[in-house]
Amino acid sequence: MAESKKLKGVDVDTRSVHSEYSTNQHADDFGSDHTESTRTTSLQPQRLFTGASSSEHEHIAPFSASFTDRNLAVARMIYLRVLIGGTIAITVAMFSIFSIYWGALWKSPAHSLHGWIVDFDGSTIGNVVSQGVSASSSPKGITWEVVPPSAFPGGSSEIAAKLVDEKAWVAVVINSGVTDALNSAVRSADASYNGSTAVTVFGVEARNENAFRLIIRPTVQSVLESVSERFAQQQAQELASSLIVQAILSNAPQIITRPIGYTITNIRPFDIPVATAITFVGLIYLTILSFFIVMMGVSAREMSGLERHLTTGSLIRVRIASTFIAYFFLSLFYSCLSVGFQVDFDRRFGRAGFVIFWMLSYVAMLALGLALEAMVTLLTARGIPFFLLLWIITNVSVCFFPIEIQPRIYHYGYGTPFYNVNRAIRTILFSTKDNLGLNFGVLLAWVVISCITLPLFQWFMRRKHMSEINRSSEPDEKVRDD
C-alpha cells in the first residue's frame, strides 16, 4: 500500500510494472506460456504502434497516422535506424562474402591441369604431334607430359581406365602405325584414307563438365588444329613436285588437305542434363531446405514454450533428434524428385544406386543443416541469414571449376560438404572414380562436429539467459523487502 501511494495516478504498482517488463524482456529468449502471453498483451500493442514507451503517444489510435506524423518521431527514428543499419550490414556482407565466389572465377584457371601425350606411332606423325602439343603447355591451361607407351601395356583401353581413375585430365594418343598408313595412302592415292584416325584424345567430361567444355576441349582442339595445318602445308610442299600429285588431288585430296586429324573420345560423358540440378544448383536448394527446418524448429520451440521449460540436456536432445528425423524423410522426398525426372541411378551400383543417393542426401542435409542448427543458437534468428549466406558461398565456390585450377586458398574446398556430395553424385550417376567412402567420411565428420558444438553453444546461451533472469529478479526481491 505504501508503494501504491507513492505512485499516485499510475494504474499499476511497482511490482506489476516490473513483472510485465521482465516478461517482455525475456519472451523472445525462452518462450512464454499462456498466462504470460495474456499478462503482456496490454503493453505490446502500444509499443508496436508508437515504437516508444507505452505512455508517450497514447492518443494515437491504431492505423490512423501517416509516416511523417510528428508524433511518430521516435518510432520513425527507430524504423530508419534499423532499416539503414540492416542495409549497411548487408552491403558489408555482400562485399566480404560474395567476393569469395567472384574470386574463385576471377583468374581461373590460376593453375594448370595435367595432360598426357602418348606416342604409339614412334615415327614422323608421332614426333610432329608430340612436339606440337608439348610446346603448347601453359601454366594456366594444360601442362603436358610425354609418357612412354611402355607405361601402358594394355594400350588405349588402359589409358582410358587411368583417366577414369583421375591420374590425368586428358590424354592425346598418337595411334600405332599412322605414319605408315599415310605413306601407303600417298603411294596408292587411296581414297579411303581417313586422317582423323591418326590421333585420339581421351577425356572424362563427367569428372567436371565445366573444365571439359571450357578448358580441355577448346585447348586440345586449338592445338591439334594448328599442328594439323602445319603438317598439311609441309605435306603439300613435299608432294608438289611429285609425279603422283595429280592422282592424289583427283582421288584422295584429303591426303594433302588434312593428312592428320583427331577424334575426341569422351569416356564418361555428362549425358544426363538434369544432373546439373543435382550436382550444383540442387546443393544450394538442399541447404535452403535444411535452413527451413532449422527456422521451423526455432519457431516451434518458442511457440510451445519448450525453449523455457525444458532442461538444457532435454532441449539439446530434442533439437538433435528432431533434426535427424525431419531430414530423414525430407531427403527421401528430395531423392524421389530426381526419380520423377527419370534420373538413372542404376549405372554404377544397380538398384542400390537410389538408396545410396538417398543416404548421401540424408547425410548431406545433416552436415549442412546441423551446422545451421548449431549457429542459430549463438546468432539467433536475426543473425543466422548472414551465416547461411557465408555457408552457401564458401561451399559453392569450389564446385564450378576443379579445385586444382583455382587459387591455393580454395583448397579448403576438399573438406566442404558441397564438394564431397558433388563428387559422390558423379560416381553414382556417371561411374566416375569411386571415393564414396571418403566422401561419406567427410560429411559424417561435419555431422559429428555440429553434434559437439550444438550442445556447447546451447549450454553457453542457457547460462547467459539464466544470469539475465537472476539479475532481473533482484529488483522484485528488493520491492518485496520494502
CA distances from residue 44 to 23, 239, 247, 381, 480 in whole angstroms, order as listed = 11, 96, 99, 20, 26
Buried b (16+ CB within 10 A) or exposed e, 39-51: ebeebeebeebbb
Q: Give me 220's grid cell.
A: 586440345
- Domain finish residue from 49, 81, 104: 104
Mean pLDDT over each residue of the chain, to the nearest integer:
87
Distance (Å, whole) CA 374 – CA 319: 10
Residue 138, helix vs strand vs coil: coil
Distance (Å, whole) CA 195 – CA 209: 28
| Residue 480 included in any domain | no
Q: Give me 402's grid cell.
A: 576443379
Phi/psi of residue 257, each to 5°? -75, -35
| Whether residues 378 and 396 fall in one domain | yes
pLDDT value at residue 51: 44
**Which range of residues forms the domain containing residue 189?**
113-266
| Among the ranges given (1-15, 411-425, 455-469), the one the predictor scored with the smallest mean pLDDT | 1-15
| Residue 1 included in any domain | no
| Whether residues 219 and 122 fall in one domain | yes
| Whether residues 325 and 460 fall in one domain | yes
| Residue 302 included in any domain | yes
- Domain finish residue from 75, 104, 133: 104
| Whether residues 253 and 294 fall in one domain | no
Whether the per-residue pLDDT at 474 is higher than 90: the answer is: no
pLDDT in tens, 31-56: 344 433 333 333 333 443 344 444 45
Whether the per-residue pLDDT at 189 is higher than 70: the answer is: yes
Distance (Å, whole) CA 110 – CA 80: 44
Percent of the chain whose predicted confidence (pLDDT) is above 70: 86
| Residue 186 included in any domain | yes
pLDDT value at residue 446: 98
| Whether residues 50 and 93 fall in one domain | yes
| Residue 191 included in any domain | yes
Q: For residues 149, 131, 146 and 220, what is the CA-based torsion angle, rounded to 10 degrees?
A: -100
Whole-prediction pTM value? 0.81
Mean of the pLDDT values across residues 55-65?
69
pLDDT band at 329 (very low <50, low <70, confident <90, very high): very high
Distance (Å, whole) CA 309 – CA 311: 7
Name residue, grid cell 579411303. 192
pLDDT value at residue 277: 92
| Whether residues 186 and 319 fall in one domain | no
| Residue 161 included in any domain | yes
Phi/psi of residue 52, each to 5°? -135, -155
Whether the per-residue pLDDT at 194 is higher than 50: the answer is: yes
Distance (Å, whole) CA 454 – CA 440: 21
| Residue 16 included in any domain | no
| Whether residues 83 and 152 fall in one domain | no
pLDDT band at 15 (very low <50, low <70, confident <90, very high): very low
Name residue, grid cell 513483472. 19
Task: Supply the DSSP string of 160-211, one letter for each residue.
Answer: HHHHHTTS-SEEEEE-TTHHHHHHHHHHHT-TT--GGGSEEEEE-GGG-HHH
pLDDT in tens, 240-282: 877 788 888 889 999 999 999 999 999 999 999 999 999 999 9
| Residue 11 included in any domain | no
CATH code, domain with 161: 3.40.1710
| Whether residues 245 and 296 fall in one domain | no
| Whether residues 305 and 436 fall in one domain | yes
Residue 172: strand pairing partners = 117, 201
CA distances from residue 309 to 121, 210, 295, 305 in whole angstroms, order as listed = 79, 52, 19, 6
Mean of the pLDDT values across residues 65-80?
90
| Whether residues 25 and 126 fall in one domain | no
In sequence order, the 6+-apart residues with CB closer than 8 A to the CB of 401 are 104, 105, 108, 109, 208, 210, 211
pLDDT band at 70 (very low <50, low <70, confident <90, very high): confident
| Whether residues 53 and 147 fall in one domain | no
| Among the ranges given (44-48, 79-83, 426-430, 457-461), the one the predictor scored with the smallest mean pLDDT | 44-48
- List the one residue out of 211, 161, 202 whose CA is nearest residue 434: 161
In sequence order, the 6+-apart residues with CB closer than 8 A to the CB of 159 are 116, 118, 152, 171, 173, 202
pLDDT value at residue 30: 39
- Domain finish residue from 78, 104, 130: 104
Which residue did the predictor score with more confidence, 317 or 106? 317
Domains held by the chain: number: 3
Whether the per-residue pLDDT at 172 is higher than 60: the answer is: yes
Distance (Å, whole) CA 107 – CA 111: 9
Mean of the pLDDT values across residues 369-374?
97
Determine the straight-line distance between the first and last CA of the chain, rounded to whole angstroms: 11
pLDDT value at residue 61: 81
| Whether residues 176 and 297 fall in one domain | no
Mean of the pLDDT values across residues 188-215?
94
